[in-house]
Structure 1
Amino acid sequence: MAFNNTLLIPVVVAVAFFIRLLFTTGRRPKNYPPGPPTIPILGNLHQMPTHDVHLQLAKWAEEYGPVYSLILGTKTLVVLTSDKSVKDLLDKKSGLYSHRPEIYLGNELASGGLRVLMMGYTKEWRACRKMIHTLLNVSAAKSYVPYQVLENKQMLWELVTEPDRFLYSIRRYSNALTTTMVYGWRTPTYEDPKMQQLFDGFSQFAELNQTGAAGLVDFFPFLRSLPEFLLPAKKKARELHVLEKELYLSHWLKAKQETLDGSITRCFSEELVSAQKAEGFSDDQAAYISGTLLEAGSDTTSSTLYAFVQAMLLYPDVQRKAQEEVDRVVGGNRLPNMEDEDDLQYVRAIMKEALRWMPTTILGAVPHAVTQDDVYNGMLIPKNAGVVNNVWGIHMDPKRHPDPRRFNPERYMDDRQSLADAAANPDGSKRDQFTFGAGRRICPGIHVAERSLFLGISRILWGFDIEPALDAQGRPIIPDQEKLTQGFVCMPEEFPAKITPRSEARRAIIMNEWAAAEAELLDPVTKQWKQNPLAAGRTKA
């Protein structure tokens, strides 16, 4: 019987393609940045840890240099671990380096392609970014100080009345500020069910994106076609999206209706309603634009303040020196305010050191991606490669920061730059820290965060002593500063602390300040603003 050549040709082609795939997938081309040895198909996937990835990435930087590559299945990941490489590529070439790699579970399934954080460098993303900038630019950020002052006073009151719940108080502070700025209403208690849903949902979202399944379907896209019983993470991602979209839509539609009937407290959603009329984007997209701000503002500031509390507990000499500065500048009869900032340089240094010592976006949150082939120092960075801003590795470089795991604010005593000015400094070595990202993807909330952190840190130092809690045998409980939570945004693992007012007089001032603010500014039943301090100049949609 004659052999059918018509059938032979596609078989030969398929076999040849498979053999080529076997011998090329997972291998590092010679002109790529260096990196650890690879194996066929997997590349470096088998070497990626499931916990504390930041430590391994920093270790590889020591071995392979500040710009190295990892081959992860069919994908390439370039890791930047120096201030110079971040400045040269993510900042100076931001037009090429502002895209995102494919994130199938996190973006397509769990976010419906709507999450601004994970969007590619598209027309839609640029429009969203422009709108967000109107809320969070430096002049707008200054106008939100009344919101920050009020929420800060409640946080201090809670530290007096329920000191063991200090993590919850810190989280409510940052969440209430963010909901007021974004939607026009505040979160009066930590037990607010929608705040609980936000933190729980984002925790589950971060956990989903840390799973092996999330990586595999990105590095081997053909696995996306697997049925859900073989890839249950697909079902989990879709379920998360349903719950999250429901939460964000409920917030957005409420703010939209209040904007249309003229009853809203001045906030970002007012502007978003006007933009929606002009641009015609959907309620789903509007919900995720505002929801992205909510999750970013609620999580990162609270994580840094929590790290600050741990630092004061572990480094009491720093705490004492800061309290001496606050007492000298402010005295004991009033709370610090934003007008004191220029005279509280050591407190500002503590803020910057907290961001460096315990960076919340430990690996730059979501990787950037390059939109076309680029050459850097003779190395090819291929089109569509993911690019990691290795924040931890840069912050822990002993050449940049001697003895990097020591909390030492003295590093910043001569640094008078704002966080945003430092990020924009053309000399990367003069940048204070990299927690807020780089290039066109830099966190737009940097101006608001700086004020929230300064007020939180200066007033806690003014009002309280932070010491180790005691165990059942009366021994101090000393947290391990190397134990961090995992995910896009990290913080110290939960720890106890003893937080007490520095004097009865300061305790009374804190209690009286909150009582007066509550009586004057808040509705006694709803605990929302009676009359918004930003009402002047409000425009209807």
Structure 2
Amino acid sequence: MPSSVALGAAVLVTLALLLHTLLLQPSRIPKGARLPPGPKGKPIVGNLPDIPPHHSWLKFKSWADEYGPIFRLKIFGRNHVVVSTEKIANDLLRERGNLYSSREQLPMAAQLLSRNLRPLFLPYGELWRRGRKVMHTLTMHAAATSYQPAQIWESERMLHDLLRAPDKYELYFERYAGALVIRLGYGKRMETGEEPYAREILKVVRTVERVASPGQYLVDTFPILMYLPTWLAPFKREAARLNAAELKLFRELLYEVKDKMREGKGPKCFAKTFFEKQAEFGLSDDEGAYVIGTLFEAGAGTTAAALMSFVLCMCHSPEWQKKLQKEVDDVVGKDRLPEFEDIPQLPTVRAVAKETLRWRPVTAGGVPHELIKDDVYDGIFFPAGTSVHANQWAIHRDPELYPDPETFNPERWLSPKYPTYREPLDKFPNLQNYSAFGFGRRICPGQNIAENSIHILIARMAWATHISKKPGVDVPLYDYTTGFNVQPRPFAFDLKPRSAAKKTMIDTIWESNKDTDPLA
């Protein structure tokens, strides 16, 4: 019986794919327009066999070099377009955001795992807009500035521990990012980064990244498999288990704040703001739980990944570490740590941050947008339903915008001889609306908070520490994890205090501040 059902499903899938392929007839293409070029695929499966299961953006970059900055892929009859320059990505995803701001409803990630509640995967519509309003309220520039005391406190703890056990850098970077968002989201203090709820949240983050990665589940390629009964669909059982776990966690964190509010002890946090304005936001408890949970997902892994890439950059570019250290010493001196008020006078810090995200983007392949209506751009026709991939790896290697793109060179943000230079240098470079955070209406909502974190952490690490390769130990240029958010796999390096006096100062500061509440 199971084999006959599976065979029937396979036949239906094949018929559906053939029908889908036949829908895009030449007569549908407007006169004077053309389809994008692209690699020739195979019957029915299209280009799927040619796309690597991991780090597909590297292959997409080589195809862009061959076919141009807009090329087309076919995967089982579905249209995918990859864009490889910032101008084209902005022209489509920002300037035509009313058409290009939706998401393909991947059965496993969007429908089964997230139950159509996770804003990252929601289609462009009313529920997404309501959730986005909450995010904007919580993360806009004025709100982000009010969170700086928490970022200072967490950075002091990170420096203190990092100087004692640099081999635990992954834990401390993840704890900084996770503890910050837990504090901002739910008013909770994360002590070690290894609390059960902290590891559960990071597990949710990793699960989302894994489940949403291309090619992980057959049902995403063959959506008709959604019609299989649960007893015949192990992916449905897995998704139900994962969804139950993450929804339970999100609810517990949210209702913990609600219980404290009833007692008159509600901490200042995203969850409290949500409950105070819930009627205005027009979201149910579960919808709000996923909005706030998504802000954690957006901030925890990505900030930690950026810091790991920063360390990698310093290992490979010691000359830029010296420039960083000199700038911070000149502006700040030796008697205090850098503060947010110093950041406008630290253009090299900001340039190193921006170049790190260019050279080693966290979301290297981008998260695809879905086109909701037929469109023509520069004579090229895109049918409705096309998934548009802004390939950050290629965008950040456009030689016209980034000469000698494979070289880590923060000077491209500081010198007028480069096309990316902007002034005044007390404002630029910055990370506002930077392509590393996505495009258009789907740009990362937490970019203001992330920018503050990355700037203050790089400034403070440059002031306090010296990073170098271990003698005789190789540091790979690109050995990164898999998923749609990536970070360097663990590697060995040396990290030492720049002076005994600076280490003592950090110890003293931490000991005097560790029992305070920065958001009280």
Q: Is TM (by shorter chain) over 0.5?
A: yes
* Counterpart in the other structure of 2:372: 371
What displacement does 1:273 show?
Answer: 0.5
- In structure 2, the residue matched to 1:8 is none
1:48 aligns with 2:51: yes
Other-structure match for 2:337: 335
Match of 2:19 in 1: 21
| Matched AA of 1:511 | D
Please state how far the C-alpha of 1:22 moved relative to its aligned partner. Answer: 8.9
Correspondence 1:37 to 2:35: no
Are the equivalent residues in 2 in contact too, given 1:99–1:368 (CA < 8 A)?
yes
Query: Does residue 1:121 correspond to 2:124, yes or no?
Result: yes
Matched, 1:200 2:203: yes
CA apart distance, 1:224: 2.2
2:312 — aligned with what? 310
Shift in CA distance, 133/260, structure 1 to aligned 2, threshold 3 Å: farther
- Measure the CA separation in 1 of the matches of 2:325 and 2:208: 39
Q: What is the alpha-carbon distance in structure 2 between the residues aligned to residue 498 and residue 27 of structure 1?
A: 60
CA–CA separation in structure 1 for the residues paired with 2:122 and 2:134? 15
Q: Whole-Å Cα distance in 2 between the matches of residues 435 and 153 of structure 1? A: 27
Q: State the AA in 2 paired with 1:88.
A: D
**What are the equivalent positions in structure 2 for 1:435-446 lying under 5 Å apart?**
435-446=436-447
CA deviations over 1:146-191 (Å, ceiling 9, x no partner): 0100011000111122221111111111111111111112212121
Find the structure with the greater CA-based Rg: 1
- Structure 1 residues 383, 61: closer, same or farther in 2, change over 3 A? same
Map 1:125-524 → 2, pairs under 5 A:
125-210=128-213, 212-214=215-217, 216-227=218-229, 231-278=233-280, 281-364=283-366, 366-413=367-414, 414-415=421-422, 416=425, 417=427, 422-423=432-433, 433-469=434-470, 475-519=471-515, 521=516
Could you tell me the TM-score, scaled by structure 2's length?
A: 0.90
2:406 alignment partner AA: R
Cα distance in 1 for partners of 2:114, 2:16 equals 34
Cα distance, 1:22–1:339 mapped onto 2, change above 3 Å: closer
Q: How far does residue 217 in structure 1 lie from its aligned partner after superposition?
A: 2.3
State how far apart, in whole Å, the 2-side matches of 1:383 and 1:22 are.
Answer: 13
Deviations 1:420-449 (A, max 9, x none): 7752xxxxxxxxx41100111111111111
What's the CA shift for 1:252? Answer: 0.8
AA matched with 1:155:
M
Equivalent residues of 2:353, 2:455 under 8 A apart: yes
Match of 1:536 in 2: none
Q: Relative to structure 2, which stretch is displaced further, 273-282 or 312-321?
A: 273-282
> What letter matches 1:111 in structure 2?
S
Distance 1:487 1:180 in 2: 26
Say which SS state the counterpart of residue 262 (structure 1) adopts: coil
The answer to whether the 8 A contact 1:372-1:382 is kept is yes
CA offsets 1:175-215 (integer angstroms, 9 cap, x no match): 1111111111221212121111122232233222336353x
Distance change in 2, residues 1:181/1:85 (3 Å): same
Q: Helix, strand or coil for the counterpart of 1:38?
A: coil
Task: Note if 1:68 corresponds to 2:71.
Answer: yes
How far apart, CA to CA, are the structure 1 residues paired with 2:63 and 2:225? 29
Quick one: structure 1 residues 87 and 233, their matched pair in 2 at CA, closer, same or farther if it must change by over 3 Å?
A: same
Identity among equivalent positions (%) equals 37
Gaps (5+ residues) in structure 1?
A: 1-13, 424-432, 470-474, 522-528, 534-541
- Indicate the residue corresponding to 1:96 in structure 2: 99
Give the letter aligned to residue 389 of structure 1.
A
Question: Aligned pair in 2 of structure 1 residues 213, 407: CA closer, same or farther (>3 Å)?
Answer: closer
Structure 2 CA distance, aligned partners of 1:143 and 1:448? 10
Q: Equivalents in 2 of 1:331, 1:168: separation in Å?
A: 29
What's the offset of the Cα at 1:230? 5.8
Mapped to 2, the partners of 1:392 and 1:235 lie a distance apart of 35
Separation (CA, whole Å) in 1 of partners of 2:462 and 2:370: 41
On the 8 A contact 2:150/2:519 being kept in 1, the answer is no
C-alpha separation between the residues in 1 aligned to 2:343 and 2:282?
Answer: 42
Give the Cα separation in 1 of the matches to 2:109 and 2:487: 21
Aligned partners of 2:21 and 2:253: how far apart in 1? 51
Distance in 2 separating the partners of 1:19 and 1:93 = 29
**3-state SS of paired residue (1:158):** helix
Normalised by the length of structure 1, the TM-score is: 0.87
C-alpha separation in 1, matches of 2:20 and 2:186: 52
- 1:128-158 Cα distance to aligned partner (Å, 9 max, x none): 1011101100111111110100011000111
2:5 corresponds to which residue?
none
Q: How much has 1:257 moved relative to structure 2?
A: 2.0
What's the CA shift for 1:342?
Answer: 1.7
1:27 CA drift (Å) = 9.6
Q: Which deviates further from its counterpart, 124-133 or 264-273?
A: 264-273
Rounded to whole Å, the distance in 2 between the matches of 1:115 and 1:17 is 32
Is the CA contact (8 Å cut-off) linking 1:26 and 1:72 kept in structure 2? no
Cα 1:241–1:27, aligned 2, differ >3 Å: closer, same or farther? farther
2: CA distance, partners of 1:483 / 1:532: 38
Paired residues of 1:351 and 1:454 also in contact (CA < 8 A): yes
Check 1:418–1:72 CA distance in 2 against 1; reply closer, same or farther (3 A cut).
farther
Distance 1:313 1:42, change over 3 A: same
1:104 shift after superposition: 0.7
Give the paired residue count: 494
- Larger mean CA deviation between 400-409 and 240-249 belongs to 400-409
- Checking the alignment, whether the CA contact within 8 Å between 1:27 and 1:41 is kept in structure 2 is no
Name 1:532's counterpart in structure 2.
519
Amino acid at match of 2:102: H
Q: 2:364, 2:484 within 8 Å by CA — same for their partners in 1?
A: yes
Q: CA deviation at 1:481?
A: 1.9
Whichever residue aligns with residue 341 of structure 2, its letter is E
Where structure 2 has 5 or more consecutive residues not aligned to the other structure, the ranges are 1-11, 415-420
Distance in 2 (CA, whole Å) between partners of 1:447 and 1:388 is 24
DSSP-derived class of the 1:284 partner: helix
